[in-house]
Amino acid sequence: MIPEIRAQQVALAATDSMPQNISKAGRTFAEVIAETVNQANKAQDVGDKSIQALESGKAQNLHEVMISMEEADISLRMLVQVRNKALSAYDEIMRMQV
């Protein structure tokens, strides 16, 4: 049997066996990832703006600039780790035999 047809049959069987009363109260994985990417992007923007403020002399405290830069760095590192874990999980699922 062609693998694509088999995958479609498995997906259909899984949806047929799911209870009908499940409410969609939670967010989807894609929504959570999109929000995380947006938060990391905002942190990067804040870090860039604080550096520009420091360079132009508008920043009063160096420690606030350093904190915003570290927050941006940590959020980017976390996002990269989430991506790595998601890719690792995807690879593991693809290696599973059905």
Quote helix, strand, coil % in the chain, to nearest 5: 80, 0, 20
Q: So what's the pLDDT on residue 5?
A: 52
Q: So what's the pLDDT on residue 53?
A: 92
Tell me whether residue 85 is in a domain.
yes
Tell me whether residue 7 is in a domain.
no
Centroid of chain to Cα 21: 28
Q: So what's the pLDDT on residue 18?
A: 47
Tell me whether residue 56 is in a domain.
yes
Tell me whether residue 2 is in a domain.
no
Tell me whether residue 8 is in a domain.
no
Q: So what's the pLDDT on residue 60?
A: 85
Q: How many domains does the chain have?
A: 1
Tell me whether residue 57 is in a domain.
yes
Q: So what's the pLDDT on residue 24?
A: 57
Q: So what's the pLDDT on residue 25?
A: 60
Tell me whether residue 77 is in a domain.
yes
Structural domain for 70, as ranges? 27-95
Cβ(47)–Cβ(69) below 8 Å: yes
Cβ(69)–Cβ(51) below 8 Å: yes
- For 87, how many CA atoms within 13 A lie in the half-sphere containing its CB? 6
Show the low-confidence residues of the chain (pLDDT under 70).
1-25
Q: So what's the pLDDT on residue 1?
A: 45
Q: So what's the pLDDT on residue 41?
A: 94
